[in-house]
Amino acid sequence: MSTAIPAEDPPAERPGPRERVAAAIGLLDRPLTSYYLVLGCTVMLLALGLTMVLSASLVKQIEETGSAYTLLQKQAVWVAIGLPGMWLASRLPVKTFRALAYPLLLLSIVALLLVLVPGLGRTAGGATRWIALGPLQIQPSEPAKLALVLWGADLLARKERLGQLTEWKPLLVPLLPGAGLLVLLVMLGDDLGTTLILLTIFLGLLWVVGAPGRLFVGMAGLVCLLVAILIVVEPYRMQRLTGFLDRSGDPLGARYQGLQGLYALASGGWFGTGLGEGRAKWYFLPHAETDFIFAIVGEEFGLVGTLVVLSLFGLLAYAGLRIARRVKDPFTRLAAAGATAWLVVQAIVNIGAVIGVLPITGIPLPLVSYGGSALIPTLIALGMLLAFAKREPGARQALAARGPGPVPRALSWLGLARR
């Protein structure tokens, strides 16, 4: 009597390219996508920043201080201060951010006024941006960006709830005078780069709140006129602009820094010279650890490294706009869009100056360039985005379903968790 041999199951078909693309797109629809994108991009850019600050500054620091790690240690201290601030911001409710808006705006105005006081303000690179507090130097214009985001979002959210955004006057008053005061104080310190970012936040808030097209175009034109006036009235800015427009003149003067940045990028090739092997930092490229750190990335990691940095900022922009689109609360939507506009446009302006498609403005690359005054407000803003990402549809349920966090899990593995 013969026994039947069961037929073998046909081999499972491997998913094709179309199915893989569909699966990858499906990952972007998960509730916590924005949360993990913001967190992951922040951590990777911070790690890259610490690495590049060491690489870009070691030659100069060895000569000046005898240690290659001087700026790295300072930046690590700022990171150690900023990360707890980011974590705390990620756990704050929305009402706390709204409550902090007006005090932070007032403190920013007072601090910007102190910059203009002789003996307190410090000037470098043609701009008076810092307050000297003993060994520390603080740049008040950096927290002013966060203050404008929170205050502008709270103001427009209240007006939207009351239905007062149908006419131009309630839309612009007092938003325009408040933003104008911050811009004026920063302009008095000759800081064009920060002025551009503040104006970008202002225009971003108007765009998200749904300002009429004619009004938005008028404000954008006014911003362009203001920037043009700021460039014309200051000789060193005119030199930078003419050096940017005239590619053939003054290679050892106004165009020197930009040319050295391009040389550094070009020498990197596809995969770079290797970490720490770049030559531009050997006193060829000024401000390599701050304004032109992207050039050092391109020299030592090549085109591949620069594309990774661009991808990280692109993902950060996507995550911020996704949060602004998916949340329901008007304040959350406006604050998320304003913070995203601030960070992404600042990265675009910095990278554009390094690759020669924009004039040099002297603003840092977020999370990568050296400097604590810029790093800490940036990390708090990213913590705020993490807090807002938890308010997306389905995010709270997904967080609750994750189970305990990494610290309780580690304690349970060690047998130290509470029973």
Instruction: Render 23-88 in DSSP notation, one character per residue.
Output: HHHHHTTSTTHHHHHHHHHHHHHHHHHHHHHHHHHHHHHHHHHS-TTHHHHHHHHHHHHHHHHHHH
Q: What pLDDT is stored for residue 417 in this prediction?
A: 45
Higher pLDDT, residue 417 or 77:
77
Instruction: Give the H/E segment covering residue 123.
Output: strand 121-124
Q: What is the pLDDT of residues 123-169, one digit of tens each?
A: 766 666 778 776 677 888 899 999 999 999 999 999 988 887 777 88
**Averaged over 47-53, what is the pLDDT?**
95
CB atoms inside a 10 Å sphere around CB 339: 28
- Report d(CA 365, CA 367) in Å as an integer: 6
Q: Which two tokens stand for residue 368?
A: 């990568």
Q: What is the pLDDT of residues 369-399, one digit of tens each?
A: 998 889 999 999 999 999 999 988 877 777 7
